[in-house]
Amino acid sequence: MASPTLTVATWNINSVRLRIDQVERFLTEQAPDVLCLQEIKTAEALFPHEMFERLGYAYRAVHGQKGYHGVATVSRLPIREVNRHDWQANGEARHVGVEVLGAGQGMILENVYIPAGGDIPDPEANPKFGQKLAFLERMTRWADALDRPTLIVGDFNIAPLDCDVYNHKALLKVVSHTPQEVAALGAFGDAHGWVDLGRKHIPAPERNYSWWSYRSYWREKDQGRRLDHMWASPELAAQSLSHRFVEETRRWDQPSDHIPLVTEFAL
């Protein structure tokens, strides 16, 4: 008899109401146990609960706001919301944390949407970039104190490795791949000994992009970046069986600019 497993997916959906049919298609075809969505762009009252209910995702933790940002974690397994951190320190809805109950019991699952940081990689000229670095610093202090097996997933808006972008040299001064951001994310990684599951299962320098700009024709030029991540505490990372990206969603009509990631864990 096969051991029970738990599958967790993450996806920056870039408006859950606009792309509700795509979310339904993804859940029907891929059937993860838990799906973490970022950039839902809706207040909780207008979140499309009915579709998730119909597909058996009866448990939901939604931290939304009107028109911008927002995160939601939906699950077929019982979950309990445990925290909402304001690492942006301005009230934006960018995080929700849950505990998985029942099968997979004890896993803490943190769903985060790190700010993009604007266009100019200089905190003086561009306050949004400074906010992004400050967000990462607050996250790092939080990670330093963690004492439970934790999975943090979401749109980190940083491609840390040289091979996580289509052209390392060309992007060194482009927000998402600058040395400041890579160093800040590295400090976050070190604070808890996180294991980057994307690179545990798809080792560098293998192609592993999760985002393509709407401005460049993505299939022809393949100008991708690995901005979405799933990182686990060492003991939880040891239970991860597989990790994949679901690239076909980027070919769907009016897609999100991000694609979903899925990791399977042994329980």
Encode pLDDT of 237-261 as tens digits: 999 999 999 999 999 999 999 999 9
Cα–Cα distance, 156 to 65 (Å, whole number): 19
Q: Would you place residue 219 in the very low, low, confident or very high pLDDT band (cuts 50, 70, 90)?
A: low
- The CA-based dihedral angle spanning residues 13, 212, 241, 106, taken in that order and rounded to the nearest 10 degrees: -40
* Helix, strand counts (H, E) of the chain: 8, 14
What CATH number is given for 5-266 in this structure?
3.60.10.10
Residue with tokens 């985060």: 112
Instruction: Read off the pLDDT of each residue in 133-145 and give the average, rounded to a whole number.
Output: 98
Q: Where would I find the H helices in 80-203?
A: 127-144, 168-171, 179-192, 197-201
Instruction: Read off the pLDDT of each residue in 168-181 and give the average, rounded to a whole number.
Output: 97
Q: What is the pLDDT of residue 218?
A: 61
Instruction: Read off the pLDDT of each residue in 27-50 and give the average, rounded to a whole number.
Output: 98
SS3 86: coil
Q: What are phi and psi of 97, to 5 degrees?
A: -115, 140
Q: Whole-number mean pLDDT of the chain?
A: 96
Q: What is the pLDDT of residue 221?
A: 83
With 70 as the cut, is the pLDDT of residue 104 above it?
no
Instruction: Read off the pLDDT of each residue in 98-125 and give the average, rounded to a whole number.
Output: 92
Instruction: Read off the pLDDT of each residue in 155-180 and give the average, rounded to a whole number.
Output: 97
With 90 as the cut, is the pLDDT of residue 2 above it?
no
Q: Would you place residue 216 in the very low, low, confident or very high pLDDT band (cuts 50, 70, 90)?
A: confident
